[in-house]
Amino acid sequence: MLRDTHIREIMNKKVITLHIDEAFSHVEEKMRQNCIRHLPVVDDENKLLGIITIWDFYRAYTPHKTETGDYYDQEAMDRIILKHHMTPDPHTLRPDDKVAEAVQIMAEDKYSCIPIVDSENKLVGIVTQIDILRFVSSKLL
C-alpha cells in the first residue's frame, strides 16, 4: 500500500507559508489561526528556503503565562529574525516519490513533516505525520 502510493495522492496542496521577510509574530498567528505546527518559508517565487516548526518557535520565543492564558508580546516577537530560527534547506520530496520513502525519512530522522517541491524547488505541498496516519487508517478500516 505505502510502496505503491505516490506522495501527490496524500499531500496537502493548500500549504500555509511564511515569506522569508515576514515578521516573526506571523509564525504564532498563522499556526494558531490554522491549527498547524509547521510553516514552510518561501521567497517571492515560492521557492522553499526553510521550515519553522512549533518547537523552533518555542525555542526562539516563550510566551508569558497569565491567569487567563498565554500572552504573546508582538513587539518582542518581531525583534526576532525568522531566518535565524528556521531550519534552512529542509529535506524535501517530489510529488512522484512514494509514501513509503516519506515514512522511512520521518522515522529515521524524526521529522514531523516533509515539504514537497517541484523540479525548480517551488513548494507544491506538504506531507505530515497526520496525513500519513489518515491515509493508513483509511486503508485499514
Map out the domains of the chain as residue ranges.
7-140
Q: So what's the pLDDT on residue 141? A: 76
Cell (9 digits) for 72: 504573546
Percent of the chain predicted with pLDDT > 70: 99
CB within 8 Å of 39: residues ≥ 6 apart: 16, 17, 18, 27, 30, 31, 51, 52, 53
- Counted residue by residue, the chain has a size of 141
Paired sense of beta strands 38-42 and 18-19, if any: parallel
Are 118 and 95 in contact by the 8 Å Cβ rule? The answer is yes
For residues 119 and 72, what is the distance between their CA atoms, to the nearest angstrom?
A: 38
The fold of 7-140 is CBS-domain (3.10.580)
Q: What is the pLDDT of residues 89-107, one digit of tens each?
A: 999 999 999 999 999 999 9
- Report the predicted TM-score, pTM, of the whole model to 2 decimal places: 0.91
Q: How many CB atoms lie within 10 A of CB 76?
A: 13
